[in-house]
Each structure stands twice: as structure tokens, then as C-alpha cells.
């Protein structure tokens, strides 16, 4: 097995695979990096001359792609050729929560991972290092290994776990200066050699003391745990936000006061309408499922409560809108500012906006959405995915306008669902004048200047205040 990697293939050109490989290629001009995907449209978008057409919006990503693309970074649909040529293969395919069968709604669906492993086994003619990049349940490496060893062509495989900790919206920054890189592998001579090969790739730009190496299972579990801890902080502060509302405390002041304790720290203490994104919920559900499968019911219940609290927060926000608008929102226009699960991304997976919209549509409100980066088609597909009502009904009750002022015109209320910076800079006086009165703002992200809004004449509801 070679220790110096020359040729990398990454299966899956999504939110994780695309940016990660772009940075690896940029920092290692001597390594050929090919990112492959079965989705031809996605690959075409990665190859588009107009960098605004890249399939993923991440600040700074266009410059990295511009520098490395067609130098040593390639995007292709020829999965077999890339596997064949590579000495190191990253698996970066999606692992959604299962929607059927055993573990439905909880366990990760490993269908795509297994298909990848089978494809690698079929195609590989030389020894390979296979790196799990997707977030996976603990001991998935065992599954991959078993498939590779039992169906392969007799070639040797080493499996590594190298979970990605990047957050969307800051992906490039996180990749350029990661808090840590984690690499797990088998504690055998060949395993250690494989770990060293991947350490070598990262050490082109990451200080060696920030590259942690562990056994496979620790690495896999660390990823789930990191996300569970972060999500738990959000649910903890969200739980307190309701208590603040009834007691007269201000959740931001509480968060600031506790965050000054260096043992607690200030991050991930912003109360909100609820966390979203592709990782938090999925990873906790995975943790819960694994704990249950080992009979650790107390452990499972403890972590499940983080999700229950998050669902409750979304529900509570929608209920507050309905109640404040005199318990009747049928036929009323409600403007949504933001649809993405957080700012600076076009990703909408598990976004709180979807659930709040769904609940308001149930009451027959007319939702009009403006988001700087999310397409109307994506919003409809998010709603349809919930499967609560027909596509035609969803299209009737939820529309999209590309201008924020038009979006808010004649609305009874504005709900802020994403913390896009541009919202703060709007001409709120102008927005107020064009709205129905009384005009309400429900700030689900705590981003606006509430005093200023109240001075203009708005009635403001902010979480935890
Ligand atoms: C997360 C992890 O941060 C990252 O390390 C991991 O690799 C993937 O999952 P991401 O989902 O991109 O990243 O977003 P993150 O910034 O963690 O935010 C997740 C959600 O929590 C967002 O909806 C955000 O708005 C919400 N959040 C975050 C809060 O409501 N309050 C906070 O204080 C922080
Ligand atoms: P993530 O957030 O984990 O990166 P995404 O859904 O954004 O997830 O990306 C995963 C990508 O993996 C998708 O573009 C999908 O088409 C691709 N994919 C899934 N299975 C395979 C496969 N067997 N071969 C190649 N690409 C795959």
C-alpha cells in the first residue's frame, strides 16, 4: 500500500464532498482529485463556467474552485473510472434518516453507502484506502469492510473514518482553519499506514497538532457526539426562552451572562425558532437508535429530549403567530423572510421555516416567502416532502416573491425564519407603511432591532423576551 497519495476520488458531489475536495485539491496541487456523482445535473453545475451556477452556495468557494478546477480538481459522472484510478476514495454520499422499515424515522439509511461500497468492490483492481466522510452510525466501517472484503477482486482495503465538522455557510473558512481534523483507523500496521497517508494530505495546510488520530469507533462516535452536544445547547437555551417569556427575563441577557463563564462559553446559545440542517436531528436520532439497540433506554431518552424540545419550539412559534393574529389567519397574508435553515446557505434541509409554514397553511394562511438564495421550486418541494397535503394546495397557499418589499406589502405579519444580514438593512419604515395594521413582526432569529421596529409602530414578538 502506497503511503503518498497521488490520486483521490470522492464519491458524492454534495454539500460535504464538493467543498472539502475543492480545498484538498487547492492545498495539494500534486494530488489529482476527482469528485464523482451519479447526478449529472449536479456535476454539470460544478463544471459551469459561470461560478454563480455552482450547485452549492458557500462564501469563498468560487475562488477555491476557480483556482483548482481543471488543474488538479475534476468533476465527473464517470464513477468507475475515478474509482479505478484512485489510491484513496472518499465516500461522501447522503445518509438520510430511514423513511421505511426497521428504524424508520430514526436510523440512518445506509443504502447509498452500501451501493458505493459494492461499486468500489466491483471496480477496484489495486489496493485502496476508503475514507468514510459522510456522517454515519457507529460501526459502519465494519459494514463497508465486510462488503469490500467479501465481494472484491482480492485487493486490499483499509477503511478510515474522517468525519467532516464543517458548518454550512462557513464551509470554506472551517476547511481552511479547522479546530481539528479527526482520522480514525484500524490500530494495525496497515491501518496506521493508511492513517499516516491521510494525515499527510491534511498536513499540507493543517498544523499537525490539530490532526487527531483515534481508533475507528471513537472517530465515528465523536462526530455524532459533537453534533449532539451542539444541538443540546440550542435546545437548552430554547427551553429557557419560554421560561424567560413568562418570567420577564431576557433570554439574550441570560445567554450572555452564562456564556461568560469560560467553562460554558458563548457559542451555540442563541435561542431561535429551532435548529435545522442536515446533521443535528439526523445524528441525534442515530445516537438514540444506537443506544436503544443496545438496550440503553435512559441514554436514548436523554438525547431524544433534545429533538422533542426542538419540535416544540417550532410548533410554539407558529402557535404564537396564530394566537397573536386573533386566532384567525385564514386568508391573511403572512410574509416569511428567509427559508434556509440558517444564513449564508441555500440549504433548506430540516429548516424550521418548512414546519412553521406547514402549520400556518393548516390554518389556511397565505404565505409569501422571500429568501435571497432559495428557489421557489425548492420551497415547494420541501413542503411536498412533508406530505401533509396535495401539491396544488401547497402551491395555492405558499408563493414566492423575489423582492422583499413586495413580499411584505399588504401582509398582516412578517415572520423572520433565517438570520440573513440583509434583513437588518431594510427600510423598515417603508415596509411598515405598506402593511396591514396593526403590523406584526415575529422575529424567530432575534436579528432585528426591536426597539427601532416598535418606534416605527410594529408590534414585535421575539423569542425569549
Ligand atoms: C452542524 C455543525 O455545526 C457542524 O460542525 C457539522 O459538521 C454539521 O452540523 P450546520 O448544520 O451547517 O453544522 O449548522 P450550524 O451552524 O451548526 O447550525 C445548525 C442549526 O442550529 C441552524 O439552524 C442554526 O440556526 C441553529 N442554531 C445554531 C441556533 O438556533 N442557535 C445557535 O446558537 C446556533
Ligand atoms: P451531504 O450533505 O452529505 O454532502 P448531499 O445530498 O448534498 O449530502 O450529497 C450527496 C451526493 O451523493 C448527492 O449529490 C448524490 O447524488 C450523491 N450520490 C449518492 N449515491 C451515490 C453513488 N452511489 N454514486 C455517486 N454519487 C452518489
Decide whether 7-206 matches 308-462 in CATH topology: yes
| CA 61 to centroid of chain Cα atoms | 16
At 20 the pLDDT is 97
What atom of ligand 1 comes closest to residue 418's alpha carbon? 25
Determine whether the annotation assigns residue 363 to a binding site: no
Q: Determine whether the shortest distance from the Cβ of 366 to ligand 2 is under 6 A.
A: no
At 330 the pLDDT is 97
List the chain residues with pLDDT less than 70.
Answer: 1-2, 152
Query: Which residue's CA is the nearest one to ligand 2's atom 5?
Result: 14
Give the number of the ligand closest to the Cα of residue 283.
Answer: 1
At 187 the pLDDT is 95
At 152 the pLDDT is 65
Q: Determine whether the shortest distance from the Cβ of 225 to ligand 1 is under 6 A.
A: no
Q: What are the phi and psi torsion angles at 161 (to 5°)? A: -110, 125
Query: Which residue's CA is the nearest one to ligand 1's atom 34?
Result: 268
Q: Determine whether the shortest distance from the Cβ of 279 to ligand 2 is under 6 A.
A: no
Question: 7-206 — its CATH code?
Answer: 3.40.50.720
What atom of ligand 1 comes closest to residue 347's alpha carbon? 12
- Active-site annotation holds for 408: no
At 389 the pLDDT is 93
CATH class of the domain defined by 308-462: alpha beta
Determine whether the annotation assigns residue 263 to a binding site: yes
Query: Which residue's CA is the nearest one to ligand 1's atom 9?
Result: 279
3-state secondary structure of 35: strand
pTM of structure: 0.93
Q: Which of 14, 46, 147 to mutate to test the pocket of ligand 2 (most atoms within 8 A of CB)?
A: 14
**Contact predicate 242/317, CB 8 Å:** no
Domain boundaries, the chain: 7-206, 308-462
Q: Which of 162, 163, 170, 230 to mutate to test the pocket of ligand 1 (most atoms within 8 A of CB)?
A: 230
Q: How far is the CA of 55 from the centre of ligand 1 (A)?
A: 20
Closest CA to 66 of 82, 50, 83: 50
Q: What is the 3-state secondary structure (H, E, C) of 285-344?
A: HHHHHHHHHCCCHHHHHHHHHHHHHHHHHHHHHHHHHHHHCCCCCCCCEEEEECCCCCCC
The set of long-range contacts for 387-396, using a CB threshold of 8 Å and a minimum separation of 24, is 388/358, 388/361, 388/362, 389/361, 393/361, 394/361
What atom of ligand 2 comes closest to residue 112's alpha carbon? 20
At 146 the pLDDT is 87
Q: Determine whether the shortest distance from the Cβ of 116 to ligand 2 is under 6 A.
A: yes
Amino acid at each position: 500500500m502506497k503511503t503518498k497519495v497521488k490520486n483521490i476520488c470522492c464519491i458524492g458531489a454534495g454539500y460535504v464532498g464538493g467543498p472539502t475536495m475543492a480545498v484538498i485539491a487547492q492545498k495539494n496541487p500534486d494530488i489529482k482529485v476527482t469528485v464523482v456523482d451519479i447526478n449529472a445535473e449536479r456535476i454539470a453545475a460544478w463544471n459551469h463556467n459561470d461560478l454563480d451556477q455552482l450547485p452549492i452556495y458557500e462564501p469563498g468557494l468560487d475562488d477555491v474552485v476557480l483556482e483548482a478546477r481543471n488543474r488538479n480538481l475534476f468533476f465527473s459522472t464517470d464513477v468507475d473510472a475515478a474509482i479505478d484510478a484512485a489510491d484513496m476514495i472518499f465516500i461522501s454520499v447522503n445518509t438520510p434518516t430511514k423513511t421505511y422499515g426497521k428504524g424508520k424515522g430514526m436510523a440512518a439509511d445506509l443504502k447509498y453507502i452500501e451501493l458505493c461500497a459494492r461499486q468500489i468492490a466491483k471496480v477496484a483492481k489495486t489496493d485502496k484506502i476508503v475514507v468514510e466522510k459522510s456522517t454515519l452510525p457507529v460501526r459502519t466501517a465494519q459494514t463497508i469492510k465486510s462488503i469490500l472484503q467479501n465481494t472484491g477482486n482480492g485487493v486490499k482495503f483499509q477503511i478510515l473514518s474522517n468525519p467532516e465538522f464543517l458548518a454550512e455557510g462557513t464551509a470554506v473558512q472551517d476547511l481552511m482553519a479547522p479546530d481539528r481534523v479527526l482520522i480514525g483507523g484500524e490500530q494495525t500496521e496497515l491501518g496506521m499506514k493508511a492513517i499516516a497517508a491521510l494525515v499527510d494530505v491534511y498536513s499540507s495546510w493543517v498544523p499537525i497538532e490539530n490532526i487527531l488520530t483515534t481508533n475507528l469507533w471513537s472517530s465515528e462516535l465523536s462526530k455524532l457526539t459533537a453534533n449532539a452536544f451542539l444541538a443540546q445547547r440550542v435546545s437548552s437555551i430554547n427551553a429557557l426562552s419560554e421560561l424567560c417569556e413568562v418570567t420577564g427575563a431576557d433570554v439574550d441577557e441570560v445567554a450572555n451572562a452564562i456564556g461568560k463563564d469560560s467553562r460554558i462559553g458563548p457559542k451555540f446559545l442563541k435561542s431561535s425558532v429551532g435548529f435545522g440542517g442536515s446533521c443535528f436531528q439526523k445524528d441525534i436520532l442515530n445516537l438514540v437508535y444506537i443506544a436503544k439497540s443496545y438496550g440503553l433506554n435512559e441514554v436514548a431518552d436523554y438525547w431524544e429530549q433534545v429533538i422533542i424540545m426542538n419540535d416544540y419550539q417550532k410548533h410554539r412559534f407558529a402557535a404564537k403567530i396564530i394566537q397573536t393574529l386573533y386566532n384567525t389567519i385564514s386568508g391573511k397574508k403572512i410574509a416569511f423572510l428567509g427559508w434556509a435553515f440558517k444564513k449564508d446557505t441555500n440549504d433548506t434541509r430540516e429548516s424550521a421555516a418548512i414546519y412553521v409554514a406547514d402549520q400556518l397553511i393548516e390554518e389556511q394562511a397565505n404565505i409569501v416567502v422571500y429568501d435571497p438564495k432559495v428557489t421557489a421550486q425548492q420551497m415547494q418541494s420541501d413542503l411536498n416532502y412533508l406530505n401533509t397535503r396535495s401539491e396544488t394546495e401547497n402551491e395555492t397557499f405558499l408563493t414566492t416573491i423575489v423582492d422583499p418589499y413586495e413580499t411584505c406589502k399588504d401582509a398582516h405579519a412578517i415572520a423572520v425564519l433565517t438570520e440573513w444580514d440583509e434583513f437588518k438593512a431594510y427600510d423598515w419604515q417603508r415596509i411598515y407603511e405598506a402593511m396591514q395594521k396593526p403590523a406584526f413582526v415575529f422575529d424567530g432569529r432575534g436579528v432585528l432591532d426591536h426597539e427601532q421596529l416598535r418606534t416605527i409602530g410594529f408590534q414585535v414578538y421575539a423569542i425569549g423576551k
